[in-house]
A = this chain, B = another copy of it.
Amino acid sequence: MTMPDVAREAGVSAMTVSYAFNHPQRVAEATRRRVLDAAERLGYSGPHPGARSLRRGRTGTLGVVLGEHLTYAFDDPQATQFLGGVSSVCVEHELGLTLLPVTGGPSDAARIREAAVDALILWTSADDDPVLDAVLQRGLPAVVHGGPAREGLGLIGIDDRAAARAVGAAAFTGARAPAVLSFPTGRDRQPRLLRGPAPDAARFSVTRHRLQGYADAASAAGLDWARIPVLVLARNDRAEAEAATQRLLQDSETPVDAIAAMSDELALGALAAAHRLDRSIPAQLAVTGWDDTPAAAAAGLTTIAQSLRHQGELCARSVIEPGAAPAQAQNAPVWQLVHRASTHGSPPADDVSRAH
């Protein structure tokens, strides 16, 4: 069932059928109706997408490379928000959205080479991810969220180090024995407890920058980063954070009195552990999160607000819209420190310090 078939049935040329489907006003109303009727009769449901994309040179689809198994991507509220932003731009531009999971296997590069997409967005990539090379080679417009920066690829993300410095200051000021709840530092995803790890060791640039910021904040507060326990978790998961925090609170000789967590999910886990052990917040334990989710607001959590939804939109626009400025650090999105009751200093409720 092809255009020539429909054309024959309708008594017009194939070109007229094409116009009837793609440029309705270029063809006379009566002819158009005749064509569409003929198509209906023959059960022709529209131009073959492959042929169209071959001829037009574009596919009408945006690809998102997820540096995670797909299941994790769907579970993670941050990925969720980000993809929501991407998808809203897709709907606006009438584009499809193709998900490209990265499994860590050799088929990853092939999947990216063969994907029928016009542009690519990368979410959660490790610094040395071979996928980055595949994307570069593909030569399509592409943008990385969060990092790593790479010649030839756009980059969108907040200044994680500065934000971590700010929220770290909120957590650590007045603390004597702070701790950190961290995202994984490598693709191996081993949960473990480190002390003052070198931030550079983290292979995800977001994790690295946040560790750097926390270390900055610790120094500024007169604390020795090298002694600060950093719980590296395997996943951005509340239950895992709760269990790990509980062990940390119970085991430490010096009672931990401040926790800076890299996400609200992790921070809420820490709060739950504190609650279970009857530690008062923030008197005995100050806690900060990251992302300013609704749950964080409800829990009165001091946190960093960054609209991942907005960043998803930015990423999508930067690769889709021809006029859009290439994504660079310059047009980095805004972040804010949202001060709430989970830390000391008691500024007015819901104080928002604006920053870059």
Where the two chains meet, the residues of A that have a C-beta atom closer than 8 Å to any C-beta of B are 43, 45-54, 59-61, 70-71, 74-75, 77, 79-81, 83-84, 87-88, 90-91, 94, 96-101, 103, 107, 110-111, 113-116, 134, 137-139, 239, 294, 298, 309
Contacts and interface: CB of A to CB of B under 8 A. Distances in A.
11 contacts: A43-B137, A50-B59, A53-B116, A59-B116, A60-B114, A70-B88, A71-B81, A71-B83, A74-B79, A87-B99, A99-B99
Contacts of A48: 54
Contacts of A137: 43, 45
A102 to B, nearest CB: 10
Given A50-B54, A137-B43, A101 B87 contact: yes
Contacts of A309: 71
A74 B80 CA distance: 5
A52 B110 CA distance: 14
A127 to B, nearest CB: 22
Given A45-B137, A48-B54, A116-B116, A83 B74 contact: yes
A49 B116 CA distance: 5
A96 B98 contact: yes
Instruction: Determine how many copies of this chain the complex contains.
Output: 2
Given A59-B116, A74-B83, A53 B49 contact: yes
A236 B40 CA distance: 38
Contacts of A74: 74, 79-80, 83-84
B71 A84 contact: yes
Nearest to A95: B111
Contacts of A103: 91
A193 B79 CA distance: 34
Contacts of A87: 70-71, 99, 101
A81 B98 CA distance: 18
Given A60-B114, A87-B101, A96-B100, 4 more contacts: A59-B116, A70-B87, A96-B114, A239-B294
A37 to B, nearest CB: 14
A71 B80 contact: yes
Contacts of A47: 114
A309 to B, nearest CB: 8
A313 to B, nearest CB: 12
A163 to B, nearest CB: 24
Contacts of A52: 50, 114
B94 A70 contact: no
B70 A75 contact: no
Nearest to A70: B87
Contacts of A54: 48, 50-51, 54
A254 to B, nearest CB: 31
Given A45-B138, A45-B139, A53-B116, A91 B84 contact: no
Given A80-B74, A80-B75, A98 B98 contact: yes
B115 A96 contact: yes
